[in-house]
Structure 1
Amino acid sequence: MTQQHYLPVDWLNPPENVRAVTTLRVGEPAGPDADSDFQAFNLADHVNDDPQQVMKNRAKLMADLQLPAEPVWLQQVHGNTVIHLDAVSEKKQQADASISTDKGVVCAVLTADCLPVFFCNAIGTEVAIAHAGWRGLHAGIISNTVKAMQTAPEDIMVSLGPAIGPASFEVGRDVYDAFIRKDEKNASAFRQTDDEHYLCDIYQLALNELCTLGVQEIAGGGYDTYTDREQFFSYRRHKNTGRMASLIWLE
């Protein structure tokens, strides 16, 4: 594996047969005035990058990680649909989370500021991954994923991957109001900056949801994809940008 291309997932005490990783952008970071940021290990085929280069990057991903199969890429729509995957699952299904209990099935999401959420159980028989931007979080993508798993919430382990940090993610009052209506304790995830704007902690929103669901073992977080130009793509930083891939599978 080329270490500088990949970020290990931060778990508390994962089963030995669970594998999980997030890819990193590689190379010189694009400047703040650049029109795009594609050239650095983009894994997404929907962002107007060179298709041949994306294919090469995906082939490198397969080889570097010695993946047991091609990742099952989703058509992500910032929604709350969760699908179960097996070895013959159709590719590019419209969903924002996937679950598998089959060995060798690689669940995957693509992100560039949104939060990748990794799930597994303590005995290493079930894994899942979710793409959780603020829209997906509000729509219940984490709740739907936990409820769709065969594992009881108290036996689920979660790791929060790289997302935009709380000092960089400014949202309008509409977003704040929507989350407060959903659950008043979400106020802990917002800091008001003026009459109409708030800084939003996407990690705290995820933690609030997970704790409400009864998930106890939660690790990860603490990244900021917006400010860390060296390691991460950021849609808020460059609208025309690549995507990191977050993967999880059972060996």
Structure 2
Amino acid sequence: MPSPDAGAPHADWLVPDWPAPAGVHAFCTTRAGGVSEGAYGSLNLGLKSGDDPQRVAVNRARVRAATGGAHLAFLAQVHGSRCVALDAASPEGQEADASTTAEPRVACTVMVADCMPVLLCDAAGTRVAAVHCGWRGLAGGALEHAAAAFDGRELIAWLGPCIGPAAFEVGPEVKAAFEAHAPEAAAGFRPGAREGKWLADLPALARQRLAALGVRSVHGNDGSAAWCTVGNPSRFFSYRRDGAASGRMAALVWRA
């Protein structure tokens, strides 16, 4: 499959439909546009997924080309809430689940394969951030830590694809973790098919946290079936569906 033209995302990738100011650019990759084969076909970006590292390197180079050559500092994500500030010299592999920058041509990047990527920018376009939101990071304050870097400025958010509310079965400890922070989080859960289990709505839970932060401009994933990584195997990687053989997608945001 041919690579995207330099400076342009592949036609199948998700480009946020959000009112970001001029100069803020973003996209989220799908499975399309890479050179990986088999279960990793075709644009796997995860170096620790078991895929051929040389193919992953080619895939990452294609993503970088699609940004027009921005600096990508992939994180070592640990399902936490730490947010790191990036610049043009930032190395790959920093242990964090969110990144932010005010520098141009530095792309905040998070990888996902069921967890939800959340991209942020301020209304003036002076700073951007990308947040990896699994349930642990979301419950632990990942969005709050990233938002703090904007010093109270008006924010715009975009929610990317993730495991959907019909597929994300969790235990009672997950529900309790969210309700301990905000009792209204109970609305983001409904009883699962198995006794004692719950179906969690990650997009709804993220929207609740963003609303509590005063973020009114929230776009993207609304919890409908088209956004579900598990339910769309031809388009999205999913760790819950495919296990260790799952590839990884990435969501990026940067200033020109």
Q: Judge same fold: TM > 0.5, yes or no.
A: yes
Q: Which amino acid aligns with 1:187?
A: A
- Contact residue 111 and residue 249 of structure 2 kept, 8 A: yes
Unmatched tracts of structure 2, length 5 or more: none
Identity %: 40
How far is 1:177 from its partner? Answer: 1.8
Paired residue type of 1:211: A
Picking from 30, 33, 37, the partner of 1:24 is: 30
SS for the counterpart of 1:144 is helix
Alpha-carbon separation, structure 2, partners of 1:144 and 1:88: 22
CA distance in 1 between partners of 2:199 and 2:108 (Å): 31
TM-aligned CA deviation for residue 69 of structure 1: 2.6
> In the alignment, residue 141 of structure 1 is paired with which amino acid?
A
Q: Which residue of 1 aligns with 2:219?
A: 219
In the alignment, is the contact (CA less than 8 A) between 2:13 and 2:32 conserved in 1?
Answer: no
- Which amino acid counterpart does residue 166 of structure 1 have in structure 2? P
Does the aligned pair in 1 maintain the 2:71–2:88 contact within 8 Å?
A: no
User: Residues 87-125 of structure 1, C-alpha deviation per residue, up to 9 Å, x if partnerless?
Assistant: 112221100000000001111000001010000011111
Q: Corresponding residue for 2:184? A: 185
Aligned residues: 239
TM-score, normalised on structure 2? Answer: 0.89
Which amino acid is the alignment partner of residue 123 of structure 1? A
1:72 aligns with 2:78: no
The structure with the largest strand share of the pair is 1
Distance 1:51 1:5 in 2: 23
In the aligned structure 2, how far is the partner of 1:69 from the partner of 1:211?
Answer: 31
2:248 — aligned with what?
243
Structure 1 counterpart of 2:164 = 165
What is the RMSD computed on CA atoms of the aligned residues?
1.5
For 1:134 and 1:109, the matched residues in 2 are separated by: 15
Q: Is 1:26–1:230's contact at 8 Å kept on the other side of the alignment?
A: no
Residue 15, structure 1, aligned to residue 33, structure 2:
no
Q: Highest relative contact order (Cα 8 Å, sep 6+), 1 or 2?
A: 1
Q: TM-score, normalised by structure 1?
A: 0.91
Q: 1:32: which partner in 2?
A: none
Provide the C-alpha distance between the structure 2 equivalents of 1:80 and 1:20, rounded to a whole number of angstroms.
22
The residue that corresponds to 2:64 in the other structure is 62
How far, CA to CA, are the matches of 2:95 and 2:142 in structure 1?
13
Q: CA deviation at 1:66?
A: 4.2
1:151: Cα distance to partner? 4.5
Unaligned runs of 5+ in 1: 28-35
